[in-house]
């Protein structure tokens, strides 16, 4: 096991934590859609062009999974994460097209001790995902459960 370098006490409201970037290739967009969301706008150019999205676009679940992977690789992997009870809200604000480069940031909104579990703290955060033009394509708010250093 790698050493835990980030505990509940290391998160502070107002902090913005960069989570890195990921390019959305055409191949990955189509492969994800075939597996999990085989709707025409996610599968080929014709389906994309005739959809509200205007062109072949990634499934919103694909963008969400890319955010999750960036979050694990660039923060959770070295943390005392205990998981999450769910997603408070998730908005798909703009289409994600082939070749787009997505960049994710975690904004810490609030931290508080768990009332029921003394070894756990709760971190409410807003995740912003922007494309290479700086446009916000996905926004998610959720709460993380994180181990406390004092309990280690």
The CA-atom distances, in angstroms, between 134 and each of 78, 102, 106 are: 28, 9, 16
> Which one of residues 21, 61, 105, 108 is an interface residue with a copy of itself (CB under 8 A)?
61
Neighbouring residues of 113: CB distance < 8 A, sequence distance ≥ 6: 120, 121, 122, 148
Whether residue 117 contacts residue 76, with contact meaning beta carbons closer than 8 Å, is answered with no
> Which one of residues 17, 82, 105, 109 is an interface residue with a copy of itself (CB under 8 A)?
82
The answer to whether residue 43 forms part of the interface with a copy of itself (CB under 8 A) is no
Closer of 84 and 103 to a copy of itself (Cβ): 84
The answer to whether residue 108 forms part of the interface with a copy of itself (CB under 8 A) is no
| Cα-based angle 72, 73, 74 (whole degrees, multiple of 5) | 95
Instruction: With residue 113 as reference, give the H or E element that holds it.
Output: strand 101-113
> Which one of residues 4, 88, 107, 108 is an interface residue with a copy of itself (CB under 8 A)?
88
Residues in touch with a copy of itself (CB under 8 A): 35-39, 41, 51-53, 59-61, 64-66, 68-69, 72-73, 76-77, 81-92, 145
């Amino acid at each position: 096991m790698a050493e835990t370098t980030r505990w509940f006490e290391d998160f502070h409201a107002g902090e913005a934590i960069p989570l890195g970037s990921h390019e959305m290739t055409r191949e990955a967009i189509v492969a994800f859609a075939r597996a999990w969301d085989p709707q025409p706008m996610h599968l080929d150019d014709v389906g994309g062009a005739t959809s509200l999205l205007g062109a072949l676009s990634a499934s919103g679940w694909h963008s969400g999974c890319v955010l999750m992977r960036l979050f694990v690789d660039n923060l959770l992997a070295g943390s005392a994460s205990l998981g999450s009870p769910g997603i408070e809200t998730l908005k798909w604000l703009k289409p994600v097209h082939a070749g787009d480069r997505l960049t994710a940031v975690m904004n810490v909104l609030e931290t508080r001790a768990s009332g029921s579990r003394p070894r756990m703290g709760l971190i409410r955060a807003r995740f912003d995902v922007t494309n290479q033009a700086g446009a916000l394509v996905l926004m998610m708010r959720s709460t993380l459960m994180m181990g406390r250093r004092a309990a280690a």
